[in-house]
Amino acid sequence: MKKILLFITGLLLPLTISAQYHIQCEDTCNHIHGLDMSHYQGQVFWETVGDNTKMSYVYLKATEGGDRIDQRYERNINLAKRYGLKVGSYHFYRPKISQATQLKNFMTQCRAYDQDLIPMIDVESTGGLSTQALCDSLMKFLKLFEQAYHTKPLIYTYTNFYNKHFQHKLDDYKLLMIAQYTDREPQLADGRDYTAWQYTGKGKINGVNGLVDKSRLVGKHTLRELRLRH
């Protein structure tokens, strides 16, 4: 424990707080915040998470590659919706696996009528491919995705990965979530805009025993832009 001085009505008073307490972005701002969750968080007490008025949305991992299904996805999406969060689902993309096979895997879990938000594609591995081969693989998958869901997805990646592989390659895809775990907002090398910033992978929230990924919308972007129109 440590002591700090709290200034109230002209008096300096000692206040004892835990040295492990950290002020988080949502404690001090008016941004629209959300979460990224998967089986890695274990059992989530969604009724408690839903009570957190600072958290407006959650993206839940549904699938990965051609055959992996997140073991907690069905429970998570049902309870997250029940307790008031806007929900979307995401697929972890594996560039060397058949695009059609990956889409089929995702579609078995991510049913459009269950979703409040546009689905997200998580791209953070080259699978050993060159930049050009990676982009060719991803574009083929995105075209199949658009035909199936009648919308362009939200694309998730991190700053360095985008700058190395995707500069000017995703100009037709307006919805981006960029991960960068620093105190400053990401800056993409091609200067383009993005929708959301995942600012920590070590967030804490009541209702989850472990750490969580937290994100927020940036600039003038609103949750309405991510809404999936059925």
Active site residues: 36, 124
Q: Look at residue 201 and give its three-state secondary structure.
A: strand
Which is nearest to 223 in space by CA: 67, 71, 57, 77? Answer: 57
Measured distance CA(158)–CA(162) in Å, rounded: 6
For residue 179, report the phi and psi dihedrals to the nearest 5 degrees: -95, 130
Q: Rounded to whole angstroms, how far apart are CA atoms 73 and 34? A: 17
Q: What residue ranges in 24-145 does DSSP mark as E strands? A: 33-37, 55-64, 68-69, 86-92, 120-122
Alpha helices (H) in 92-230, listed in sequence order: 99-109, 131-149, 159-165
> Quick one: CA dihedral 74, 80, 81, 85, positive or negative?
negative
Q: Is the dihedral of CA 62, 65, 66, 70 positive or negative?
A: negative
The residues with which 34 forms a beta bridge, in sequence order, are 57, 215
How far apart (Å, rounded) are the C-alpha atoms in residues 37 and 185?
Answer: 22
